[in-house]
Amino acid sequence: MNTDLLIVLALLGAAIAMFIANKPRMDAVGLLMIVLLPFTGVLTVNEALAGFADPSIILIAALFVIGEALVRTGTAQQIGDFLNAKSGGNETRLLVLLMVAGAGLGAFMSSTAVVAIFIPIVLRICQNTGASPSQLMMPLSVAALISGMMTLVATAPNLVVSAELVRQGHAGFSFFAFAPFGVPILVLGIGYMLVARRLLPDRRPPGTDRRRAPSLRDWVTTYGLAGRAFRVRIAGGSPLVGRRLEQLALRKEGVNILAIERKRSFATEVIRPNGSTELAVGDIVLLDIRASAERRAAWKEEYRIETLPFEEGDYFLDRSQDIGMIEAIIPPDSALIGSTVLEARVRAEYRLTVIGLRHRQDVVGPELLETKLSAGDTLLLTGFWSDISHLQADGHDLLVLNLPAEHAELLPAAGRAPQAVAILALTVGLMVSGLVPNVHAALIGCLLMGLFRCIDLNSAYRSISWKSLVLIVGMLPFSIALQRTGGVDLAADAVVALAGEAAPRVLLGVIFIITAMLGLFISNTATAVLMAPVSLAVAAEIGASPYPFAMIVALAASTAFMTPVSSPVNTLVVGPGNYTFGDFLKVGVPLSIVVMLVCVLLVPIVLPLR
């Protein structure tokens, strides 16, 4: 063992020790290694910085952006709502659907992001069904980790291992090269968790004393809005076609037009109504009406409008991503004091409609528009969320009192889920077909997400986990340094000597165990960076194909079930599931052993050793 190798190993040992101690931050350790490695004389500064130019780094960054676009457009949230509906309150069915959805979505976006998306969904489902979060959070984390065994882009270690193959002169893995292993392991993991969840305690997180924010449905009940919401379609030949709203003067008759749904080429646009808005054939108008049933029937006949079926009491809650509500109080110095609701012209000033009023604690009924406003009165306003935000920032005659719970669930690009899904399908198609390199396909996907307004530039930059990228870039030079100093060959010789004259499958098992054990102390990405060249060197030493040995490293890097610190995915569910370290050991260790046996069995069959 030469002096250069000893120095490199000392630096590597120091990095691992800092990772275990979690001081300083992992990305800071990566930067420290970039700075120190050139001082060894083994690498130049350019070689230490070469990771920043690695295509796999750009690809990982682009995938963060695509994943964020799926979140912003509500694609992931729609999947969660679908699960809630399809489970029907059955916990076993919910567990299966949750794991399938988590692994399926995680195959195309960050598994950490998948878990972050699903945690509030699972908590909401548990609140509605009475299930314990501790019974569902760990299955969610297991599914998210298994998703890393599905596709090339599912997790960073897959990209690192594939890039190492290319760097050593071999073809990289194809997009779905991992699926023959990931799909059986997912089926196995679901079956295992159905049994192993009995090992998990029914341990519910401690309650909270904070007041729950009111929901839109709470306000519908409090202010008696049920029965006032109507959807009507403008039919051909209606005298309303081509007329501006200011010509109709419906407000005085107790009719408020809240929004207009208009069909476009690829989606339905929700239009904010104003005086100059012209109605068109096929428009669906969302109305708040206080008039009598007889008056409504007369309007229907006069204007030739079609009333659409509507869920009684919902008050457009299905449009809560576009239209919201807010409670505002009238301060003592407000210019609105002494005016009636109609005279206050709140719609003209704030583009919000007054649909409810509380005078002290009493809700005002049919005489709402004629009621004079007093200091301390509470108004319930409805309108587009952007106008509600404007009131929050610039309201001088109204002070915001309450925002609904739905405000926290707003999607910045609601309604663009179809475009996001289509762009994701195109990106995956380009990767699978091989028409362009994977990184090129991902960059095309990012640009299209921006072009179709699924994400903006600021959000795209914020979505990238720079901490993860810097960590990978900081560890990549070790691969070159260890190869140049003979460390990789030394490690390969040690693995071969450890297995002796055993069959290649035993070598695969040994590499799997070493990779999985390293993953207990350092990130699975850093583990892949270190173990990928070692596994390829072992393959070269015994004259075997490099692909099964590279694949076993990637699969082992995703087998991070054993401790809450093995992966950020596990760390995220500790709090919501109220887990202990022992819970992960009880469930994760047996599952890791089973996954190892399956991988050692399947890998040589799918990827022949010779």
CB contact at 8 A, 33 and 11? yes
- What residues form DSSP beta bridges with 229? 288
Question: Is the preceding omega at residue 206 within 30 degrees of 0, hence cis?
Answer: no
**Residue 15 identity (one-letter amino acid):** A
Domains, the chain, in order of start with CATH, read 216-318 (3.30.70.1450), 323-403 (3.30.70.1450)
The torsion angles phi and psi of 564, rounded to 5 degrees, stand at -70, -10
Place of tokens 């009598």: 292
Place of tokens 């695509």: 66
Tokens found for residue 487: 């460390």
CB contact at 8 A, 409 and 424? no
pTM (2 d.p.): 0.64
Mapping DSSP to helix (H, G, I), strand (E, B) and coil, where does residue 304 land?
coil
Cα–Cα dist 584/589, whole Å: 8
**Residue 117 identity (one-letter amino acid):** I
Q: Chunked in runs of 10, what are the mean pLDDT values of the chain (610 residues)?
A: 85 82 80 92 90 81 82 75 75 89 84 71 71 87 92 88 91 92 95 88 53 78 86 88 84 82 79 88 88 79 81 74 89 88 87 88 84 90 89 80 79 80 88 84 93 90 81 80 80 74 84 86 78 90 92 93 77 76 87 95 92
Sign of the torsion formed by the C-alpha atoms of 18, 20, 25 and 28: positive
The confidence score (pLDDT) of residue 63 equals 78
What's the Cα-to-Cα distance from 360 to each of 84, 100, 252, 253, rounded to whole Å? 39, 51, 25, 26
**What does DSSP assign to residue 291?**
S
CA angle 464, 405, 82 (to 5 degrees): 70
The torsion angles phi and psi of 269, rounded to 5 degrees, stand at -95, 135
Sign of the torsion formed by the C-alpha atoms of 113, 186, 174 and 597: positive
Tokens found for residue 581: 């370290």
Mean pLDDT score across all residues of the chain: 84
Cα–Cα dist 357/366, whole Å: 11
**Residue 229 identity (one-letter amino acid):** A
Cα–Cα dist 527/559, whole Å: 12
Residue 493: closest CA among 471, 510, 480:
510
Question: Is the preceding omega at residue 590 within 30 degrees of 0, hence cis?
Answer: no
Distance of CA 32 to the CA centre of its chain: 31
**What does DSSP assign to residue 278?**
B
Cα–Cα dist 607/550, whole Å: 10
What are the residues whose beta carbons fall under 8 Å from the beta carbon of 171, sequence distance 6 or more?
A: 165
Helix-helix angle 111-129:91-106, to 10 degrees: 160
- What residues form DSSP beta bridges with 230? 287
Place of tokens 């609701």: 341
User: What does the longest C-alpha to C-alpha distance in the chain come to?
Assistant: 96
Cα–Cα dist 404/217, whole Å: 9
Cα–Cα dist 199/457, whole Å: 45
Other Cβ atoms closer than 10 A to 489 = 17
214: left (phi over 0), alpha (psi -120 to 50) or beta: beta
Measured in Å, how far apart are the chain's first and last C-alpha atoms? Answer: 31
CB contact at 8 A, 231 and 287? yes
Query: Which tens digit of pLDDT belongs to each residue from 480-510?
Result: 887 788 877 787 778 777 766 668 888 999 9
Burial letters 189-207, b for 16+ CB under 10 A, else e: bbebbeebbeebeeeeeee
What are the residues whose beta carbons fall under 8 Å from the beta carbon of 81, sequence distance 6 or more?
A: 121
Q: What is the 3-state secondary structure (H, E, C) of 458-481?
A: HHHHHHCCHHHHHHHHHHHHHHHH
Distance of CA 344 to the CA centre of its chain: 42
Residue 143: closest CA among 101, 195, 113:
101
The confidence score (pLDDT) of residue 210 equals 41
Parallel, antiparallel, or unpaired for β 284-289 and 362-363? unpaired
What are the residues whose beta carbons fall under 8 Å from the beta carbon of 484, sequence distance 6 or more?
A: 4, 42, 43
Residue 454: closest CA among 108, 105, 69:
69
Mapping DSSP to helix (H, G, I), strand (E, B) and coil, where does residue 191 land?
helix
What's the Cα-to-Cα distance from 515 to each of 518, 522, 549, 551, 610, rounded to whole Å? 5, 10, 12, 12, 23
Tokens found for residue 505: 């499958």
**What does DSSP assign to residue 93?**
H
Cα–Cα dist 300/285, whole Å: 13
**Residue 68 identity (one-letter amino acid):** E
**CA dihedral angle for residue 228, residue 233, residue 235, residue 241, rounded to 10 degrees:** 80
What's the Cα-to-Cα distance from 321 to each of 73, 200, 316, 391, rounded to whole Å? 10, 36, 10, 18
The confidence score (pLDDT) of residue 208 equals 39
Cα–Cα dist 139/573, whole Å: 10
Cα–Cα dist 515/524, whole Å: 8
CB contact at 8 A, 308 and 232? yes
Cα–Cα dist 413/267, whole Å: 13
